[in-house]
Structure 1
Amino acid sequence: MKDFIAGLPKCELHLHIEGTLEPELKFDLARRNGIALPYTSVEEMRAAYSFDDLPSFLTVYYEGMQVLRTEPDFYDLAMAYLRKAAEQNVRYAEIFFDPQAHTSRGVPFDVVIRGLWRALIDADRQLGVRAQLIMCFLRDFQAEYAMATLLESLPYKEWIVGIGLDSDEKGNPPAKFAAVYERARQEGYLLTMHCDVDQDNSIEHIRQAIEEIGVDRIDHGVNILEDQRLVDLVLARGIGLTCCPISNGYVTDSMKAEGIRKLMELGVRVTINSDDPAYFNGYVGENLVALQEELQLTREELARLERNAFEITWLPRHLKDAYLAEVDAYLA
């Protein structure tokens, strides 16, 4: 089964590029930029990755970004992930990036996106991995800052397929960003939004995302099972959920595997992704293996998860169909 998963054509839709910053690259970038790290070795740094909820993870996550300063830094970050993705037969990825996590510490928006975009071009040519960028807003910052970031992105609109919302959910509901999302829709961006697992007011946040914001996709979102009416809405609108089993196990009490199985049984377009793999010790392949072992998924069910992912990509129909054909041919 592990061999089957390794060769399965994959699609990743919930991946924070800053969350792929492995300790080895972090040390390299720190040396390049003359930054002193509070660790003496890779092993010591990994040992510090101790968190049991979303806020404790975010503290470590944002600290790690301090080494990202220049366009080559962002290029190297993205290329490192895309090489790993190619090794795991990820055929297509939609990659989150957090511009405010960089502009808020003095790194220009232009520096961030040019480094990432150049890596996407090279990965397509050199590795055969196609990818697009999703710009996320940090929900624990002001909505006005999100709007300013949205406006700053407009000269690069052709490089960004959509917007998302991440970071600490507590006290930061989707409705806080309603005007930002409406302007983004007017500009032609597609819309997704984190509704993290087992957060305060999880089900209300999911309701706002669907009914008030009108998202095209939901990131995480397993708590939707608490409200059948919202499940029915997601089914009616064809909204997909981008779930991350291993990260669930770090920031909550389990991988939420049974919830993922239930969503599959209900016909929801649930997908499997890696979230922040450098911190959660598992890329998309490892997430699929972990879920398969937990649920004893069949090959057909694993292929269905990848079909779900390719179906809810923000790609033209003919490209979706080409990737779906790859999955079908592999299963056959």
Structure 2
Amino acid sequence: MTPADYIKQVPKAELHLHIEGSFEPELMFQIAQRNKIAIPYESIEELKKAYQFGNLQDFLDIYYAGANVLIHEEDFYDLTMAYFQHCAEENVVHTEIMFDPQTHTKRGIAFSTVINGIQKARVEAESKWGISSLLIMSYLRHLSEEDAFDTLAQSLPYKHLIKAVGLDSSEKGNPPSKFQKVFDASVKAGYIPVAHAGEEGPADYIWEALDLLQVARIDHGNNCLSDISLVDRLVNEKMALTVCPLSNTALRNVDEIKNHPLKKMLDLGLKATVNSDDPAYFGGYLTQNYLDCIEALDLTLEEVKQLVRNSFEYSFLPEGRKQELIAQL
């Protein structure tokens, strides 16, 4: 069996997916019309053309503009079910979904509206397709730590629905240390900590995420390769990296996919996983990320199996369920 045939058929897990980043242009137009909200694009084609980015900030600008059409519980349900439909088609059997409450609460949308719509879709996807999922509540790092504390407080009535907290948005100039206190409080509240680090930011941000935020996983982490002592630590601690290849090329963090460091990460013993990040914007869902890497990096079947295994092994599933899924590989 070729690596490409294998990845199309095998059960998969995804650990780094922003639900707002799975907002396809067609659905964005549909919900905008339903809610009578104007968006600055005349057609789906024009909107698709805008999905070309020079850097992270270019992407974030359109990402937040698109999120403005999400108003009602039904909208968040539709958004999340559309992503689960892709999971069902690609045999993604477990996914760990990041959501950004502040993107919505800052617009006057209630926290309950956001999470109840997402939760309704989670329940339906498990019932309909057997897809398990959990939620990672991400703090927006371009906002203040005080804002993050407000979000933490709003989340507590829904703590039973949220597994982890994360840190995303504009990395440059917003180090993990800015959020140390709210992460301490989030862990005390029972949440598992993860954080984006080393995507656009330096290796120092990864050190901070490890030492100050005490993260259980690093989201992205590409820039660890500039610091061999950091690589050694990540390998020794078996710290997983949720790598997003098509995202990295779309945002110009990697110039082209053939130069992506994924294979090098595996060679160094890093616990890399493959994920789609914001698939509607970056040109592919989970399987496409694998296929592009298989072709460009000439990944072997064993390397692909290791990547798939890593995604289950470093998920936040209960140990018994992890082993059940790994056994299927």
**Which TM-score bucket, shorter chain as reference?**
over 0.9
Match of 1:299 among 279, 289, 301: 301
Superposed CA RMSD = 1.2
Superposition map of 1:202-281 within 5 A: 202-252=202-252, 253-255=255-257, 257-281=259-283
- Equivalence for 1:161: 163
The farther-off stretch of 256-265 and 30-39 is: 256-265
Q: Deviations over 1:74-111 (max 9, x none)?
A: 00100000010110110100000000000001100000
- Equivalence for 2:9: 7
TM-superposed deviation, 1:132: 0.6
Decide whether the 8 Å contact of 1:8 with 1:303 is kept in 2: no
Q: Deviations over 1:34-91 (max 9, x none)?
A: 1122222211110111211011111111111011000010001000000101101101
Q: Deviations over 1:261-308 (max 9, x none)?
A: 111012211000001000011000000000000111122211110101
The change in CA–CA distance for 1:69 and 1:117 in structure 2 (over 3 A counts) is same
The change in CA–CA distance for 1:256 and 1:319 in structure 2 (over 3 A counts) is farther
Superposition map of 1:1-332 within 5 A: 1=2, 2-197=4-199, 199-200=200-201, 202-252=202-252, 253-255=255-257, 257-327=259-329
Decide whether the 8 Å contact of 2:7 with 2:290 is kept in 1: yes
TM-superposed deviation, 1:4: 2.2
Question: What is the rounded CA distance, in whole Å, between the counterparts of 1:188 and 1:230 in structure 2?
Answer: 28
Amino acid at match of 2:211: E
Question: What is the rounded CA distance, in whole Å, between the counterparts of 1:232 and 1:183 in structure 2?
Answer: 29
Question: What is the rounded CA distance, in whole Å, between the counterparts of 2:106 and 2:160 in structure 1?
Answer: 24
Structure 2 residue runs without a partner (length 5+): none
What TM-score, normalized to structure 2?
Answer: 0.96
Decide whether the 8 Å contact of 2:245 with 2:260 is kept in 1: no
Amino acid at match of 2:242: T
What TM-score, normalized to structure 1?
Answer: 0.95
Question: What is the rounded CA distance, in whole Å, between the counterparts of 1:295 and 1:219 in structure 2?
Answer: 21
Decide whether the 8 Å contact of 1:35 with 1:67 is kept in 2: yes
TM-superposed deviation, 1:258: 4.5
Amino acid at match of 2:287: G
Question: What is the rounded CA distance, in whole Å, between the counterparts of 1:224 and 1:130 in structure 2?
Answer: 31
Question: What is the rounded CA distance, in whole Å, between the counterparts of 1:300 and 1:105 in structure 2?
Answer: 47
Q: Secondary structure, in 3 states, of the residue corresponding to 1:274? A: coil
The farther-off stretch of 231-240 and 15-24 is: 231-240
Amino acid at match of 1:214: Q
Q: Secondary structure, in 3 states, of the residue corresponding to 1:34? A: coil
The change in CA–CA distance for 1:256 and 1:245 in structure 2 (over 3 A counts) is farther
Decide whether the 8 Å contact of 1:249 with 1:256 is kept in 2: no
- Equivalence for 1:330: none
Question: What is the rounded CA distance, in whole Å, between the counterparts of 1:295 and 1:160 in structure 2?
Answer: 36
Decide whether the 8 Å contact of 1:247 with 1:255 is kept in 2: no
Q: Secondary structure, in 3 states, of the residue corresponding to 1:192? A: strand
TM-superposed deviation, 1:255: 3.7
Q: Deviations over 1:238-265 (max 9, x none)?
A: 2100001011001122347542111101
Q: Deviations over 1:100-159 (max 9, x none)?
A: 000001100000000001100100000111111100000000000001101110111110
TM-superposed deviation, 1:30: 0.7
Amino acid at match of 2:17: L
The change in CA–CA distance for 1:184 and 1:255 in structure 2 (over 3 A counts) is farther
Aligned residues: 325
Question: What is the rounded CA distance, in whole Å, between the counterparts of 2:64 and 2:260 in structure 1?
Answer: 31
